[in-house]
């Protein structure tokens, strides 16, 4: 079976293509994202969009993309309700933490995350989440979302592991930095990591090089925006 291809679009925005040929976007902050390559601003196709929380640099272009591509949107329940009530999106799934939904043959489980969640008008958007994704061949990716490190990452590993890849924020200031991310990797037991949410704006000072020093037994894949890796 073909592999999963993960592409970083800058900040905390990713797309991945599954072994079954489905295309999924995580937190599609494209327009307004200074790190998103120009060639990626207009997606050619989308099967699913999954959101971790309601901040504008994560919801991004969700409404416009969902209407254009008639794709399924997965979001924590309050954020899902807002998308349906305020923006009249039709195909929306609304799990909460611990819940699993399936879309386009891919399983999405919401996990805990420690952060905040409001839209650009400071309306409450529910609690932030991480997402464990399981694609058709059983490969599992953990998108931590915006979070600090927390002890119950051990439970995420225990319940949903082994996790083939952890996608962790490392920028510091608004999320954990490399020091905390290194501990997160220890708790998760994951041996491969893609860092994100760094370098987009001046306060986000954490670097993959620093994480690599602090987690020497983990393969830290430093990606350029628009770059891809396979699993």
Residue 105 backbone class (left: φ over 0; alpha: ψ -120 to 50; beta: rest): left
Q: Which residues pair with 107 in a beta bridge?
A: 102, 134
- Banded pLDDT at 1 (limits 50, 70, 90): low
pLDDT digits (tens, 9 = 90+) for 150-188: 999 999 999 999 999 999 999 999 999 999 999 999 999
Q: In the predicted model, what is the mean pLDDT of the chain?
A: 97
pLDDT digits (tens, 9 = 90+) for 106-125: 999 999 999 999 999 999 99
Q: Of all residues in the chain, what percent are helix, strand and coil, respectively (each to 5)? A: 25, 25, 55
pLDDT digits (tens, 9 = 90+) for 130-142: 999 999 999 999 9
pLDDT digits (tens, 9 = 90+) for 75-84: 999 999 999 9
| Domains of the chain with CATH codes | 5-225 (3.60.15.10)
Please determine, for residue 144, whether its predicted confidence score (pLDDT) is greater than 60: yes
Mean pLDDT value of segment 192-210:
98
Measuring CA to CA, how many Å separate 178 from each of 34, 53, 223?
22, 22, 16
Confidence (pLDDT) at 105: 97
Please determine, for residue 195, whether its predicted confidence score (pLDDT) is greater than 70: yes
Alpha carbon distance 161, 171 (integer Å): 25
Alpha carbon distance 168, 150 (integer Å): 13
Instruction: Provide the whole-model pTM.
Output: 0.97
């Amino acid at each position: 079976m073909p592999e999963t291809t993960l592409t970083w679009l800058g900040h905390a925005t990713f797309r991945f293509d599954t072994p079954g040929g489905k295309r999924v976007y995580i937190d599609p902050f494209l327009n307004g994202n200074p790190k998103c390559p120009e060639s990626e601003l207009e997606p050619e196709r989308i099967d699913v969009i999954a959101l971790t929380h309601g901040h504008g640099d994560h919801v991004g272009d969700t409404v416009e993309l969902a209407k254009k591509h008639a794709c399924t949107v997965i979001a924590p329940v309050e954020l899902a309700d807002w998308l349906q009530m305020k923006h009249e999106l039709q195909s929306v799934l609304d799990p909460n933490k611990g819940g699993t939904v399936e879309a386009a043959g891919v399983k999405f489980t919401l996990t805990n995350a420690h952060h905040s969640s409001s839209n650009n008008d400071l309306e409450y958007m529910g609690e932030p989440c991480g997402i464990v994704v399981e694609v058709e061949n059983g490969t599992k990716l953990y998108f931590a979302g915006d979070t600090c490190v927390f002890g119950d990452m051990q439970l995420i590993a225990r319940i949903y592991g082994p996790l083939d890849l952890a996608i962790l924020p490392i920028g510091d200031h608004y999320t954990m930095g490399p020091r905390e991310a290194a501990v997160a990797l220890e708790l998760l037991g994951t041996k491969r990591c893609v860092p994100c949410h760094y370098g987009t704006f001046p306060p986000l000072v954490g670097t993959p090089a620093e994480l690599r020093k602090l987690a020497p037994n983990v393969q830290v894949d430093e990606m350029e925006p628009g770059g891809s890796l396979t699993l």
